[in-house]
A and B are shown apart, each in its own frame.
Chain A
Amino acid sequence: MARFCYVITFILLWLSAAAVPQAKAEGLPKLPVVATFSILADFARNVGGERVEVTALVGSNGDTHVYQPKPDDAKKLAAARLILVNGLGLEGWIDRLIKASGTKAPVIVATKGIRSQQMSGEGHIELDPHAWQSIVNAKIYAANIRDGLIAADPDGASTYRANADAYLSKLDKLEQEVETAIAKIPPEKRQIITTHDAFGYFGRAYGFRFIAPEGVSTETEASARDVAKIIRQIKAEKIPAVFLENVTDPRLLERIAAESGAKIGGTLYSDALSAPDGPAGTYIEMMRNNVRELSAALTN
């Protein structure tokens, strides 16, 4: 009798164990993708669609220049099947993290093929990593991400191509919107002050001059001479507005505005998206928000 009970229990357990994998196989497992920061993650979600599960290491409103990785990040990298980095020196911390995590996933540099530009610094040459600020480059980002996804998950190639085409046409529309809006701003008014040199590519693409005390990375510190130069410049050229950024301390810019008579024009989203329910939850919303703030401050 006892033996019979044992056998029945064993059979029941075996059946229930067999049932579990079946339940799991119902949903398609998503490709785990890790992007270094929120803007890259947004591109990846648009191109990958339902087939991917994207996480960003540096989330909304985070500063990728000075990010300190956590052990959790190494775990995420180890579990990823595709890793997206910006390159051009934005993420000084990523190479060692990738090595330390022991991940086997391929690393896609989203800025491959982009015509990079340099910082208009004081004599020294520095590569400007903020390539996504120009929509032409954003399309190259999307294309590189599409190719990376196809290489990592060939079964989804047609889906990725379709998603990428749809997204590229959205970017085309965005480009037209931006150019129309900026055309309304008189050329002599197209100069603004912001905290760090994040908008070089935007400036070159759409004819703006951006001046910043902190240079190309938020890791640097401003010097008294640079701050004095900016104040003199604002007063001499009657620059109307300074713009805060979502990733940096506003106090230096508020000081400059107070002393030079410029007004605080609003907040631009430079290196990170806002929270999903904020004004810049996706890349497209971010560009729209920035152009809106610029137009509002410079056309009255």
Chain B
Amino acid sequence: MFYDLLIGPFSDFAFMRRALAGTVALAAAGPPLGVFLILRRMSLTGDAMSHAILPGAALGYLVAGLSLGPLTIGGLAAGLIVAAGSGVVARATILREDASLAAFYLISLALGVTIISLRGSNIDLLHVLFGSVLALDDSTLILLAVIASVTLIVLALLYRPLVMETVDAGFLASVSGSSGFVQIAFLTLVVMNLVGGFQALGTLLAVGMMMLPAASAMLMTGDMTLIILAAVVQGMLAGYAGLIISFYAGLPTGPLIILVAGIFYLAALVFGPAGGLLRHVKPGRHLEA
């Protein structure tokens, strides 16, 4: 009976299976990147990026019309330029990543709106570009799978320098020359996940899946590896739960997945051992000499 309730929708409907596959792929790759984004004080990158890709998508539209390939490639290029630009500015000036990203994405958005207005098009480009978790076709699923695989492999290879660059960039710079490369590789992964996520699943799901499980996991534990694992697990659970509830309750799927992740976050906020609110009520034992 539980089988029918909990597994039934997925065995009966291919679109549910695809939605689950898509969200699991996203949950494998997004939350680890989200953890690093939070540690690097770049948490609002996702939202900023959803606007920053506009000039790239606009140029793609001018060149090739309303087909998803050029729109996505254009968006990817614009996102990479904005991310790389803000990274370079953050390294070379007093502005940190948040300010430099804010400046670049606003310039990018303004440029995008201007390009679209010049052409006189009335089509809401981004409305067309952003997809839905219930509409994953073969090529989109493959895109998500490739992005997730590449992200996990690169993260595994660059894990140590990336962690070091995040917590103590000066030390890394003093012992290795890979600091710039690591930063750029990380930003590239973020942009790739975001733009692919937008195209496949829409902004809310792509950004939300990246940030919410990560924020929640950071409140649960202080160990880096455990944080990443907890974030990934929460992301996958939220994806599954959101799909099932949307199936039975008739609520929109994408927002529901994020709401479930949000509930996990609120629970972690209150009860989380590594920084939740309850620890003020019942503090642990102080270390004594």
Interface residues of A (CB under 8 A from B): 57-63, 66-68, 70, 72, 122, 218, 220-228, 231, 249, 251-252, 254-256, 258-259
B243 interface residue (CB < 8 Å to A): yes
B69 interface residue (CB < 8 Å to A): no
- Give 10 CB contacts A-B under 8 Å: A58-B122, A63-B124, A66-B127, A72-B117, A223-B249, A223-B252, A251-B135, A252-B135, A254-B137, A255-B134
B136 interface residue (CB < 8 Å to A): yes
Q: Which residue of A lies closest to B121 (CB)?
A: A59
Contact status B137-A251, CB under 8 Å = yes
Using an 8 Å CB-CB cutoff, how does the interface string of B13-42 with A read, 1 for contact, 0 for none? 111101100000000000000000000000
Contact status B247-A221, CB under 8 Å = no
The listed residue with most A CB atoms (<10 A of its CB), out of B122, B134, B137, B255, is B122
Residue from the list B135, B252, B254 in contact with A249, Cβ < 8 A: B135
> What A residues does B251 contact at CB under 8 A?
223
A224-B19, A258-B14 given; name 8 further pairs at CB < 8 Å.
A68-B124, A221-B253, A225-B249, A228-B15, A231-B13, A249-B131, A249-B132, A251-B135
Contact status B243-A224, CB under 8 Å = yes
List B residues 157-195 near A (Cβ within 8 Å).
none
> What A residues does B14 contact at CB under 8 A?
258-259
Contact status B117-A224, CB under 8 Å = no
Q: Which residue of A lies closest to B136 (CB)?
A: A255
Contact status B135-A224, CB under 8 Å = no
B248 interface residue (CB < 8 Å to A): yes
Using an 8 Å CB-CB cutoff, how does the interface string of B43-60 with A read, 1 for contact, 0 for none? 000000000000000000
Contact status A70-B117, CB under 8 Å = yes
Using an 8 Å CB-CB cutoff, how does the interface string of B235-258 with A read, 1 for contact, 0 for none? 000000001001111111111100
CA distance A249 to B240 in the complex (A): 25
> What B residues does A62 contact at CB under 8 A?
122-124
CA distance A225 to B256 in the complex (A): 12
Interface residues of B (CB under 8 A from A): 9, 12-16, 18-19, 117, 120-124, 127-128, 131-132, 134-137, 140, 243, 246-256
Contact status B247-A225, CB under 8 Å = yes
Residue from the list A63, A225, A252 in contact with B123, Cβ < 8 A: A63
Residue from the list A60, A218, A220, A251 in contact with B131, Cβ < 8 A: A251
B163 → chain A closest CB, angstroms: 37
The listed residue with most B CB atoms (<10 A of its CB), out of A62, A72, A225, is A225
Q: Which residue of B lies closest to A272 (CB)?
A: B122
CA distance A296 to B250 in the complex (A): 33
CA distance A237 to B127 in the complex (A): 32
Q: Which residue of A lies closest to B247 (CB)?
A: A224
Report if A224-B123 is in contact (Cβ < 8 Å); known contacts: A70-B117, A249-B135: no
Q: Which residue of B lies closest to A56 (CB)?
A: B122
Report if A122-B128 is in contact (Cβ < 8 Å); known contacts: A224-B134, A255-B136: no
Report if A221-B9 is in contact (Cβ < 8 Å); known contacts: A59-B122, A255-B15, A256-B15: no
